[in-house]
Amino acid sequence: MSELNATACLEEVVAYIRGDTNLTEATSALYRLGMDKKSAGKVLRDTPRNNIYNFSTKSRLGSDPSGENVGDIETD
């Protein structure tokens, strides 16, 4: 029985990593499979996801190393 639960838990974590389920859904699923909510949440929050992108934002008013004009108004 524990092997079946371990396999089911792994499938839920993989679904979370792929983005098929969100944090709340995955935490609830792991809780139903026997993990306590605090541990399930920690495991999932510490797991990197494949569908999360980090967009760094840069100020358009700062100096642009490429020298490209991106539509900023020039004032003299």
Could you tell me if 5 and 34 are in contact, meaning their C-beta atoms sit under 8 angstroms apart?
yes
What is the pLDDT, as a whole number, of residue 27?
94
Q: In whole angstroms, give the CA distance from residue 18 to residue 62.
A: 36
What is the pLDDT, as a whole number, of residue 1?
46
* pTM exceeding the 0.85 threshold for the entire prediction: no
Q: Is 27 left (phi over 0), alpha (psi -120 to 50) or beta?
A: alpha
Q: In whole angstroms, give the CA distance from residue 5 to residue 39.
A: 15
Q: What is the mean pLDDT of each run of 10 residues along the chain (76 residues)?
A: 75 93 94 91 88 66 55 58
| Residue 5 DSSP class | H
What is the pLDDT, as a whole number, of residue 14?
94
Other C-beta atoms closer than 10 Å to the C-beta of 43 total 17
